[in-house]
């Protein structure tokens, strides 16, 4: 049995002996400033208690001593708290709806800021960051509102920063796209919290995790190991990336604790279960009730695993990038997506997938940058637009945006399923592969399997466009590829 498994078992041994009163006493140690505000009857579920213990620091005295006291009181070995290994850098709690995820993340953030006197960043959607909406923001505000009104806790509304008597802070940050991380570089951040993490772009998540400063003087003084905690339901735009990172194995720096609605002592589970079961959406019900990461709304064109992953791409072949271009950047508008594909000896290789939502000028810059990286041997394909609009776009593409590169606009059927049928047939026959280092690989494959029933289809549209363009050239080509 490895050391982490032994520690997990030891934590559960102490949890199952704890009374509700002891769990409340343990919770009161989270935040001295707020302990008097905890409602009557407040307690923790076993899994909530486990997650809090798992994220505690070896050198923090009050919680460590309380756990040791419980060990003596109940005759349980709690030596793990004294000489435990470094806590995993990243933890994910949740996997279903109403399992107390936001509650746990809020408690962790408050503990770090109020008790340790350290700095916390809470990452969420941009609109939620400054309005105390969303799961974590709403929960924290409910707890601390009296202390904000009495000015015990300072609230900088413009910067969305809470400052506690200990000197610790909680900074609410919007992290909606792959470039959002650039706004939050550096800083002595001890705890990063990601609320509904499957809505956060993987690139911004990776950059935040890789780039934070973990050696603040205060953290070093008290022996605090910086870490990141996330929570989510098992669906969302980027669910495939986080499932791979945490649920399907993870690594020594990550751990996943599955929590279910029945683990949350604060909801009417039977009523919640009944409402989901009669909702008419069995996939959503299974995700929210059972924490199922392995199911999704399925389309009828592409099966899971229909595109195999390869470590290498042939150096030569017919190479094109197809673009599905969004008209606006409104919240409910589509994304712009570009798929680069190469055909070589009967196989179609997906080499790169770029997807983004930018203002028109930034859109153009991003597409031209891709063209420059792809090189002049990679033809650019866009959808032919009708009438005057099409003529204007052709001129814009050829004389400005893609000037110096080979560009072609092609007509496509209005029915997206009809467009995708040739690609579907090729995938079913094992003729399509994807490079293991392809950007947005997981998100693309997730979107492909859900097509045409999924919420988004931008990457699939770009892929079918470039596939059809290459297939047409192959059909008329007599040379070697």
What was the pLDDT predicted at 213?
53
Residue 292 resides in a domain: no
Q: Determine the 3-state secondary structure of 228 from DSSP.
A: strand
Are 316 and 379 found together in one domain? yes
**By C-alpha distance, which of 449, 422, 455 is closest to 302?**
449
Residue 15 resides in a domain: yes
Domain that holds residue 391: 308-475
What was the pLDDT predicted at 212?
65
Domain boundary (268, 296, 324) is at 268
By 3-state DSSP, what share of the chain in percent is helix, strand and coil, each rounded to 5?
45, 20, 40
Are 196 and 327 found together in one domain? no
Residue 25 resides in a domain: yes
Laid out side by side, the sheet with 119-124 consists of 154-156, 161-163, 169-174, 119-124, 189-195, 227-232, 90-94, 254-258
Residue 288 resides in a domain: no
What was the pLDDT predicted at 24?
78
Are 189 and 80 found together in one domain? yes
Residue 209 resides in a domain: yes
Are 233 and 361 found together in one domain? no
Are 213 and 316 found together in one domain? no
What was the pLDDT predicted at 331?
47
The H or E element containing residue 123 is strand 119-124
The encoded tokens of residue 36 equal: 């008097």
Residue 296 resides in a domain: no
Are 126 and 260 found together in one domain? yes
Are 254 and 333 found together in one domain? no
What was the pLDDT predicted at 367?
94
The H or E element containing residue 218 is helix 217-222
HEC string for 244-259? HHHHCCCCCCEEEEEC
| C-beta pairs of 287-290 under 8 Å, 24+ apart in sequence | 287/96, 287/97, 287/233, 287/234, 287/235, 288/96, 288/97, 288/98, 288/233, 288/261, 289/96, 289/97, 289/260, 289/261, 290/96, 290/260
What gap in Å lies between CA 423 and CA 441, rounded to an integer?
17
Are 79 and 202 found together in one domain? yes
What was the pLDDT predicted at 27?
73
Beta bridge partners of 410: 383
What size, in residues, is the chain?
Answer: 481
What gap in Å lies between CA 264 and CA 287, rounded to an integer?
16
Domain boundary (218, 252, 268) is at 268
Q: Residue 381 belongs to a domain with what CATH number?
A: 3.30.420.280
**By C-alpha distance, which of 45, 189, 152, 52 is closest to 108?**
52
Residue 154 resides in a domain: yes
The encoded tokens of residue 164 equal: 């506690």
Q: Residue 83 belongs to a domain with what CATH number?
A: 3.40.50.300
Domain boundary (268, 300, 334) is at 268
CA distances from 36 to 52, 65, 143, 400 (A): 19, 21, 11, 65
Are 222 and 315 found together in one domain? no
Cβ–Cβ < 8 Å for 307, 448:
yes
What was the pLDDT predicted at 318?
95
What was the pLDDT predicted at 398?
85
Q: Is 262 exposed, middle or buried (0-12, 13-18, 19+ CB in 10 A)?
A: middle
Torsion of CA 50, 56, 58, 63, to 10 degrees: -80
Are 223 and 156 found together in one domain? yes
What was the pLDDT predicted at 1?
44
Residue 293 resides in a domain: no
Backbone angles phi, psi at 318, to 5 degrees: -75, 120
Torsion sign (Cα): 158, 191, 210, 248: negative
**Strand bridging mode 189-195 / 119-124:** parallel
**By C-alpha distance, which of 471, 448, 473 is closest to 459?**
448
Q: Determine the 3-state secondary structure of 18 from DSSP.
A: coil
- How many domains does the structure of the chain reveal? 2
Are 319 and 195 found together in one domain? no
The encoded tokens of residue 393 equal: 């776009």
Are 462 and 341 found together in one domain? yes
Q: Find out whether the peptide bond into 346 is cis, omega within 30 degrees of 0.
A: no
pLDDT tens track of the chain, all 481 residues? 455 566 677 777 888 888 888 887 877 776 666 666 666 666 677 777 777 777 666 555 677 778 888 888 988 887 766 655 456 788 888 777 776 788 778 888 888 888 888 899 999 877 777 777 677 888 888 888 888 999 999 999 888 899 999 899 999 988 877 777 788 876 778 889 998 888 888 888 888 887 765 556 777 777 777 788 898 888 777 887 888 888 876 666 788 888 788 777 667 888 888 888 787 677 778 888 888 777 666 567 888 889 999 999 999 999 999 999 886 545 455 789 999 999 999 999 999 999 988 888 888 999 999 999 999 999 999 998 775 556 678 888 888 899 999 999 988 888 888 889 899 989 988 999 999 999 999 889 988 988 887 778 899 999 999 999 999 888 776 555 5
């Amino acid at each position: 049995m490895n050391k982490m498994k032994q520690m997990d078992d030891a934590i559960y041994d102490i949890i199952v002996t704890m009374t509700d009163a002891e769990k409340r006493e343990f919770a009161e140690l989270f935040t001295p400033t707020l302990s008097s505000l905890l409602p009557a009857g407040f307690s923790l579920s076993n899994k909530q208690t486990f997650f809090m213990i798992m994220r505690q620091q070896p050198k923090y005295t009050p919680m460590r001593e309380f756990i040791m006291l419980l060990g003596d009181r109940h005759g349980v070995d709690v030596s793990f708290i004294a000489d435990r290994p470094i806590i995993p850098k990243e933890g994910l709690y949740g996997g279903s709806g109403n399992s107390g995820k936001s509650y746990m993340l809020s408690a962790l953030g408050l503990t770090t800021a109020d008790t340790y006197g350290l700095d916390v960043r809470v990452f969420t959607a941009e609109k939620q960051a400054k309005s105390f909406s969303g799961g974590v923001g709403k929960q924290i505000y409910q707890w601390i509102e009296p202390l904000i009104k009495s000015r015990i806790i300072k609230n900088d509304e413009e910067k969305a920063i809470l400052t506690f008597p200990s000197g610790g802070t909680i900074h609410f940050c919007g992290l909606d796209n792959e470039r959002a991380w650039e706004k939050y570089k550096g800083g002595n951040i001890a705890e990063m919290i990601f609320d509904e993490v499957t809505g956060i772009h993987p690139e911004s998540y990776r950059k935040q995790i890789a780039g934070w400063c973990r050696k603040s003087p205060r953290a070093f003084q008290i022996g605090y190991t910086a870490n990141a905690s996330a929570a989510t339901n098992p669906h969302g735009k980027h669910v495939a990336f986080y499932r791979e990172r945490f649920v399907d194995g993870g690594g020594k720096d990550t751990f996943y604790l599955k929590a279910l609605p029945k683990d949350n002592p604060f909801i009417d589970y039977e009523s919640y279960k009944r409402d989901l079961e009669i909702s008419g959406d069995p996939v959503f019900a299974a995700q929210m009730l059972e924490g199922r990461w392995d199911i999704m709304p399925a389309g009828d064109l592409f099966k899971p695993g229909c595109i195999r992953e390869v470590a290498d791409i042939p150096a030569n072949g017919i190479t094109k990038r197809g673009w599905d271009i969004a008209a606006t950047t409104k919240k409910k508008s589509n994304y712009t997506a570009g798929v680069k594909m190469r055909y070589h000896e009967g196989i179609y290789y997906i080499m790169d997938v770029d997807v983004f939502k930018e203002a028109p000028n930034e859109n153009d810059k991003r597409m031209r940058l891709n063209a420059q990286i792809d090189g002049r041997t990679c033809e650019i394909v866009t959808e032919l637009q009708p009438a005057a609009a099409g003529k204007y776009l052709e001129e814009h593409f050829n004389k400005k945006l893609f000037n110096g590169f080979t560009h072609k606009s092609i007509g496509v059927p209005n029915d997206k399923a009809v467009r995708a049928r040739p690609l579907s047939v090729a995938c079913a026959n094992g003729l399509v592969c994807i490079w293991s280092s392809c950007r947005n690989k997981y998100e693309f494959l997730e979107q492909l399997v859900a097509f045409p029933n999924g919420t988004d289809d931008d990457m699939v549209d770009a892929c079918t466009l470039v596939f059809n363009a290459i297939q047409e050239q192959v059909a008329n080509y007599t040379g070697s590829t």
